Amino acid sequence: MTLTRTLLASLASAALSLAGSSALAQTPAKLKVGLMLPFTGTFAALGTAIENGFRLHVAENGGKLAGREIEFVKVDDESDPAKATDNVNKLIKRDNVDVLIGTVHSGVAMAMAKVAKDSGTLLIVPNAGADAVTGPMCASHIFRSSFSNWQPGYAMGEVMAKKGHKKVVTITWKYAAGDESVRGFKEAFEKGGGKVVKELSLPFPNVEFQSLLTEIAATKPDAVYTFFAGGGAVKLVKDYAAAGLKKNIPLYGAGFLTDGTLEAQGADAEGLMTTLHYADSLGTPRDNSFRLAYAKTFKMQPDVYAVQGYDAAQMLSIGLNAVKGDVSRKAEFADALHKARIDSPRGAFTISRSNNPVQDIYLRQVSGKENKLVGIASKALADPGRGCRL
């Protein structure tokens, strides 16, 4: 009798645990995504666009990636490199995120990449172009859905040399993104026969441009190349026009100068030519459907940052599908991305050995509220990945 009861009890508990495990198999644990982005400061709008884009792709997949529901944890990194290590450690150690998505500012991204590398945490960078992240700091579990700072700069160097400009002044923020954008520009521009005669800069995120604009006027170059983004880009374009420089010394830039900024820049941006891996008038079915869905969902037009956020989610999805949602299978995750063609609104792109997009860089020109496509400045441009050993 007692024996029968014991037997029955253990049978019942075995049945229960079986039921439990099959229920578990049907509902895998949520995937915790740590979004480390700027939600305040000069890059605040960029952070929001990236988050929107990421969420749009997740929503299109019914709120799941590789069958796992997504739970977001957010940190405002304020584009402050001094706070970056603490912020990323909060996400990894306190919140136990499975994957990190971030960020916009190159200095903050380098701190993130260091922690991600040391801790083995999967990281997808949805903007920051810091060359080092897919260069000397590269790792098999660190990816970028955006660009390297070298890429748009290099493409514009070729464009401006071909236009016959000889003598150019550069102006940017003094930090990794500005320095590297100018370096990429200079590499191609001087190879094409031009000369950078002066490199002007001011500390990030300052926007007191007056004395630098006076120096440009005095130097009288053929043209100016610039890297600014977000609120700083709005101010530079307005101040450049107000100083009377726009009509005499053409201003060119990496496309961040006029992306997500045209409402605020108004007529002062009209006609500006820039290079970037996105444009507003690609007119492909893929981009049209993305733009429509984004505008419907968020009641605003998408920009390059929205595309990069969307593609960060697409890349995560491709990797996760290959490893059935198990982020610890890093080699297979990376393998899947190296074999993939990512079906981006910008046009399909591939991922290089050093985990950076290989992509077309477009030449665009501002017309009204759009960065209109002029042509392809550089086809399937791959960052050289200098210093990356993988």
We find the least distance from the C-beta atom of residue 218 to ligand PHB, in angstroms, to be 29
Q: Which residue is nearest to ligand PHB (CB)?
A: 229
| Nearest distance in Å: CB 95, ligand PHB | 24
Residue 137 binds ligand PHB (CB under 6 A): no
Closer CB to ligand PHB, 11 or 82, in the complex: 82
308-347 positions binding ligand PHB, by CB under 6 A: none
Number of H helices and number of E strands within the chain? 12, 14
Tell the burial category of 335 from Cβ atoms under 10 Å away from its Cβ (0-12, 13-18, 19+).
middle
One-letter amino acid identity for 326? D
Least CB distance to ligand PHB at residue 129 (A): 4
Least distance between ligand PHB and beta carbon 329 (Å): 30
- Minimum distance of ligand PHB from residue 285's CB (angstroms): 27
Whichever of 129 and 184 has its CB closer to ligand PHB, that residue is 129
Peptide bond before 205: cis, by omega within 30 degrees of 0?
Answer: yes
- From residue 137, give the alpha-carbon distance in Å to each of 77, 130, 188, 283: 21, 10, 24, 37
Task: Give kind and range of the element (H or E) at residue 60.
Answer: helix 44-60
Question: Of 97, 128, 171, 363, which one interacts with ligand PHB (CB under 6 A)?
Answer: 128
Nearer to ligand PHB, 146 or 314 (CB): 146
User: Which has the closest alpha carbon to 278: 382, 370, 385, 171?
Assistant: 370
**Among residues 106, 151, 274, 344, the one that binds ligand PHB under rule CB under 6 A:** 106
Nearest approach in angstroms of CB 204 to ligand PHB is 8
Applying CB under 6 A, the span of 8-16, 66-74, 104-112, 325-333 interacting with ligand PHB comes to 104-112
Shortest CB 71 distance to ligand PHB, Å: 27
Candidate residues 68, 105, 141, 346; the one interacting with ligand PHB per rule CB under 6 A: 105
* Total number of residues that touch ligand PHB (CB under 6 A): 12
**Interface of this chain with ligand PHB, residues 152 to 211, rule: CB under 6 A:** 177
- The smaller minimum CB distance to ligand PHB, of residues 31 and 262, is found at 262
The angle subtended at Cα 110 by Cα 329 and Cα 191, nearest 5°, is: 110
* DSSP codes, 289-322: HHHHHHHHHHSS---HHHHHHHHHHHHHHHHHHH
Stretch that binds ligand PHB, among 2-10, 124-132, 236-244, 276-284 (CB under 6 A): 124-132
Question: Comparing C-alpha atoms, which of 235, 217, 113 is closest to residue 173?
Answer: 235
The single residue among 256, 290, 333, 349 that binds ligand PHB, judged by CB under 6 A, is 256
Which tokens in the block code for residue 173? 């923020």
For ligand PHB, the binding residue among 38, 53, 81, 129 (CB under 6 A) is 129
Name the DSSP letter for residue 130.
-
Minimum CB separation of residue 172 from ligand PHB in Å reads: 11
CB of 184 to ligand PHB, least distance (A): 12
Q: Between the CA of residue 359 and those of 178, 350, 377, what are the distances in Å?
A: 21, 7, 11
Based on CB atoms, which residue is closest to ligand PHB, 104 or 272?
104
Q: Which is nearer to ligand PHB, 138 or 323 (CB)?
A: 138
Q: Which stretch binds ligand PHB (CB under 6 A): 48-56, 123-131, 215-223, 239-247?
A: 123-131
> What is the helix (H) or strand (E) element at residue 68, kind and residue range?
strand 68-76
State which residue, 106 or 134, has the beta carbon closest to ligand PHB.
106
Percent helix / strand / coil, the chain, rounded to 5: 45, 20, 30
Q: Using CB under 6 A, pick the residue from 49, 110, 124, 229 that binds ligand PHB.
A: 229
Contact 139, 155 (CB under 8 A): no
> Which string of b and e fits 67-103 if b means at least 16 CB within 10 Å?
ebebebbbbbbbbbbeebeebbeebbeeeebbbbbbb
Helix axes 285-298, 304-322, angle to 10 degrees: 110
Chain residues in the site for ligand PHB (CB under 6 A): 43, 104-106, 127-130, 149, 177, 229, 256
